[in-house]
Amino acid sequence: MGSVNHPLNKTLFKHRLDPALKNMASAKKTRWLSVIVQSVNGIDERIKKHIKKHSGRITKDYPFIKACNVLLPPSAIKPLETLSQVHYLSFNRPVAAHLNNLKTVMASGTAHNQGLSGRDINVALLDTGTYPHPDLIRPANRILCFKDFVNDREFAYDDNGHGTFIAGIIAGNGSMSKGEYAGTALGAGLISLKVLNQSGNGWTSTVLSGMQWVYDNREKYRIKLACLPLGCSGSLAAENDPLSRAAQALWDLGVVVCTSAGNNGPEVSWISSPGINPNIITVGALQSFGGTVSRDNPLALFSSRGYTADGNPGPDFVAPGTAITSLNSDPCFMPKSPLSHRSTRLDNYYCQGTGTSAACAAVAGTICLLLEKHRDLTPDEVKSLLKHSCKSLNLLKEQQGYGLPDINKLLYITH
C-alpha cells in the first residue's frame, strides 16, 4: 500500500465517498452524520470553511493521516465530496473487540528458557483498558502508562475485561498461578489505551485518537509494537479506510502493528479493518485443546477468512484462539488513586476466552520476544521473519496466511 502520503487517486470522483455514507446521506433519516474526512494535503482552510458553511463541526483532528472527524448534516456530504482537497469521506464506523494455556502451542517456554521475556519491549494495547492484575503489577508495575479516550479517567481500570484478558496473553507473568498461565512475553511493558467502552464497543474516531496518541508518543514511551485486537467492517479499499491508513502511518514510523482478522467466520468473507491493510500483521484463530491444535479442523469456525475489498487474501498468520486461559478482572473497579488496586481482590484470578483477539495477542507476544533479541528490526523485517518461521496447517492461503509462527524456528533463524 505504501505510505499514507500517496497522491490523490486518479479515479472518478464518486470513489471518494464511502457507499455506506452515501446511503445514509440519501436517506436523510438523521440530522447529523459523523464523518471521517481524509484530505490530500491536510485539513486546510478551504475544507474548514466548507464545513463551517454547512453548519458542520470538527470534533477531532488526526494530523498523522491528514484527517479529522466531523459532524455534518446529510446535505453537506455531496458538496464536500466535490472539493479537490478531499481524499475520501467515510462513515465513523462502529468498532468492536474480537474475543488452556498458550505456552505449549506457541512454544514460548523455549524462549523463556533462553532468558527471553520481552523485557524492555513496550507494547501499546488499544482495547477496553487494563485492570491492575497481580500478574501485571507484581513484583513491579508493568502498566507503564494508561490513557482513557472513553471516560477520561486517570488511573488504570477495565470495565469490560477484554483488554485485561489480552494483556495477560501478551505480558502476564503468571504470578498467581505459579507460572502456569504466564503470557508469551512475561516481562514486556504495557501502554494501555482505552478506546472501547464497557460493552467492548467503540467508534473509528476513538480508535484513531488512540493511534494518533501512539504516533505522537512513540519515542517518549519507547513503543515498539501496537496491538489492536479489534476491528470494524472492512468493506473499503485499504488506501481509503481510515484505520488502515492510520496503521500504515504507524508502520512507516517503525511501530509494528498487529491486529485481529475478526470473528466473522465463513459466512462473511471480509477481513476486519485495520486488518485489511496488506502490510501490517493480521492474525486469525486456530482451534486448540489441551495444548495441541485440532488436526481435523484446525481453523476456528468463527475466524474471519477470505479476501479483502482489494482482493488480498487474509489473514497473514494464525494462532490459538479457543478456550484460552488468561487474566480475569473486576469490571466494577474504578480507581481514585494509583494505589486503589490494594483495596480490591478477585475471587478468580483467571478465566477463559475465545476469539481472534486472543490469537492476535499470542502473535504480539511472540513479536516482543523477537524484538528483545533483535531490537533494531524494522516492521517489514519482523513480518518477513515470522513468515519464514511458520508451520503450515495445510489450509488455503486465505484461511491461514503463512500459518502458525514457531518460536523455536524463529529463534533458530535469527541466531
Q: What percent of the chain has pLDDT over 90?
A: 80
Per residue in 151-184, pLDDT tens?
999 999 999 999 999 999 999 999 999 999 999 9
Determine the pLDDT at residue 21.
94
State the average pLDDT for the chain. Answer: 91
Determine the pLDDT at residue 107.
56
Catalytic annotation present for 98: no
- Across 53-67, 195-209, 340-354, least confident range: 340-354
92 dihedral zone (left: phi>0; alpha: psi -120 to 50; beta): beta
Determine the pLDDT at residue 288.
81
> Is the confidence at residue 268, as pLDDT, over 70?
no
Q: What percent of the chain has pLDDT over 70?
A: 93
From 3.40.50.2300, 1.20.1250.20, 3.40.50.300, 3.40.50.200, which CATH number describes the 96-413 domain? 3.40.50.200
Sign of torsion, CA 391 318 181 375?
positive
Catalytic annotation present for 6: no
pTM of the predicted model as reported, rounded to 2 decimal places: 0.93
Identity of residue 295:
R
> Is the confidence at residue 1, as pLDDT, over 70?
no
Stretch 220-234: mean pLDDT, rounded?
A: 96
> Is the confidence at residue 12, as pLDDT, over 80?
no
> Is the confidence at residue 220, as pLDDT, over 60?
yes
Burial class (CB in 10 A: 0-12, 13-18, 19+), 246: buried
Nearest alpha-carbon partner for 131 in 341, 326, 337: 341
Per residue in 97-147, pLDDT tens?
987 345 444 557 668 878 899 999 999 999 999 999 999 999 999 999 999
Catalytic annotation present for 162: yes
Greater confidence (367 vs 109) lies with: 367
Given the residues 162, 303, 316, 330, select the one marked as catalytic: 162
Domain boundaries, the chain: 25-92, 96-413
Given the residues 50, 87, 127, 406, select the one marked as catalytic: 127
Are the CB atoms for 251 and 284 separated by under 8 Å? no
Stretch 181-203: mean pLDDT, rounded?
A: 97
pLDDT band at 271 (very low <50, low <70, confident <90, very high): very high
Determine the pLDDT at residue 27.
83
Stretch 272-291: mean pLDDT, rounded?
A: 91
> Is the confidence at residue 192, as pLDDT, over 90?
yes
- Statement: 25-92 belongs to CATH 3.90.1150.10: no
